[in-house]
């Protein structure tokens, strides 16, 4: 699991930073969480524009205007496979208008899917991406990216039960029973651990700190939080439906998260990002970074 901050400016782009976009690589799949203005150019610089899916948290311009550009960049690269675009239920027509109005009809398939809260928008055997509602607008969401639970195989225990290394190890790991040379049956539960939670990333989108956000972020390996303002602008954050860096830290603490990325940073704080880190760290003792375009990290299990 690798995560790259593609656009980190809140509201409008600046000369240095684009608006909201996060790239993820997970089990060979590549997808975007939001697609703000200029995302295609910044993807070429910091990650890859060759994505499989794009998930839009809500339909404000700083989260969506890059969508036609990415679609065009993929066409210029002779794409032929389908691109999946996931938008909130109730925003299908706006997605169509955005793509067709700005670009027209691409030569490869672009499939628009709608999602609702608390049901996976994307689900594979290895991971799921599940939206959760945020209070920013009637149609705004964050996303929980959750790796499927894993069961660890104990080869020493298998040998104790009479199973030698070989194909039967694979059968047991595929949750199939096998027989020993003596005709005894060995069940998967005999050699597999209890399911261990997989890695978890939470992207909040624009939000105020709420219990729903805390619940969604519970035990996350990484929380990417829309921390637009410093604490001296807390009143402005409340009135506009955004959060401060300290509030992001409080959510991460309540959620028992491992790491916190501050993003969607107001242009007024450009060059003074350490102020936001200090404020978040005053409420959260985990690792805190005010990410900027191009920052990247791998996510490993830490629990």
Beta bridge partners of 115: 88
Domain span at 184? 155-191
Cβ neighbours for 219, distance < 8 A, ≥ 6 positions apart: 197, 200, 255, 256, 257, 303
Tell whether 93 and 121 lie within a shared domain: yes
* Max Cα–Cα distance, the chain, nearest Å: 73
- Could you say which DSSP state residue 303 is in? -
- Tell me the pLDDT tens digit for each residue of 44-76: 999 999 999 999 999 999 999 999 999 999 999
Backbone dihedral angles phi then psi of residue 154, each to the nearest 5 degrees:
-110, 95
CATH number of the domain that residue 102 is part of:
3.60.15.10
Region 225-233 average pLDDT: 97
138 annotated active-site: no
Domain count, the chain: 2
Tell whether 275 and 183 lie within a shared domain: no
CA dist 132 → 24, 62, 68, 83, 189 (Å): 18, 20, 25, 23, 34
Any domain includes 303: no
Any domain includes 98: yes
Cβ neighbours for 200, distance < 8 A, ≥ 6 positions apart: 144, 145, 146, 147, 219, 220, 221, 222
Any domain includes 210: yes
What count of other Cβ atoms lies within 10 Å of the Cβ of residue 177? Answer: 13
Distance CA 37, CA 68 (A): 9
Among candidates 72, 67, 103, 58, which has minimal Cα distance to 85? 67
Q: What is the DSSP string of 78-147?
A: T--S-EEEEEETT-HHHHHHHHHHHT---SS-EEEEEE-TTS-SEE-SSEEEEEEE-SSSTT-EEEEEEE
Tell whether 260 and 246 lie within a shared domain: yes
- Tell me the pLDDT tens digit for each residue of 97-156: 999 988 778 899 999 999 999 899 999 999 999 999 999 999 999 999 999 988 888 899
Distance CA 290, CA 23 (A): 16
Q: How confident is the model at residue 194 (pLDDT cuts 50, 70, 90)?
A: confident
Any domain includes 120: yes
- Helices 273-281 and 245-254: crossing angle in degrees, nearest 10, is 30
* Residue 266 scores a pLDDT above 80: yes
3 state DSSP class of 185? strand
Choosing from 29, 34, 52, 62, the catalytic residue is 62
Tell whether 239 and 184 lie within a shared domain: no
Region 2-29 average pLDDT: 97
């Amino acid at each position: 699991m690798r995560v790259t901050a593609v656009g980190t400016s809140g509201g409008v782009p600046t000369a240095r930073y684009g608006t909201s976009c996060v790239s993820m690589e997970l089990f060979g799949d590549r997808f975007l969480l939001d697609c703000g203005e200029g995302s295609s150019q910044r993807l070429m610089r910091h990650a890859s524009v060759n994505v499989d899916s794009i998930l839009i948290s809500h339909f404000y311009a700083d989260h969506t205007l890059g969508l036609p550009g990415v679609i065009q960049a993929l066409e210029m690269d002779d794409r032929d496979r389908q691109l999946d675009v996931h938008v909130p239920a109730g925003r299908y027509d706006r997605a169509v208008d955005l793509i067709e109005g700005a670009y027209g009809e691409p030569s490869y398939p672009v499939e628009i899917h709608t999602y609702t809260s608390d049901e996976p928008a994307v689900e594979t055997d290895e991971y799921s991406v599940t939206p959760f509602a945020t209070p920013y607008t009637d149609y705004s969401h964050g996303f929980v990216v959750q790796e499927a639970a894993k069961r660890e195989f104990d080869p020493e225990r298998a040998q104790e039960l009479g199973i030698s290394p070989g194909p039967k190890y694979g059968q047991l790991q595929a949750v199939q029973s096998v027989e020993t040379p003596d005709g005894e049956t060995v069940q998967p539960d005999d050699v597999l651990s209890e399911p261990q939670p997989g890695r978890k990333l939470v992207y909040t989108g624009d939000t105020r700190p709420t219990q729903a956000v805390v619940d969604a972020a519970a035990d996350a390996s990484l929380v990417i939080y829309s921390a637009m303002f410093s604490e001296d602008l807390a009143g402005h954050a409340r009135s506009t439906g955004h959060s401060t860096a300290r509030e992001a830290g409080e959510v991460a603490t309540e959620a028992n998260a491992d790491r916190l990325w501050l993003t969607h940073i107001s242009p007024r704080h450009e060059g003074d990002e350490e102020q936001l880190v200090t404020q978040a760290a005053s409420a959260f003792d985990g690792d805190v970074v005010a990410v900027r375009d191009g920052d990247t990290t791998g996510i490993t299990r830490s629990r």
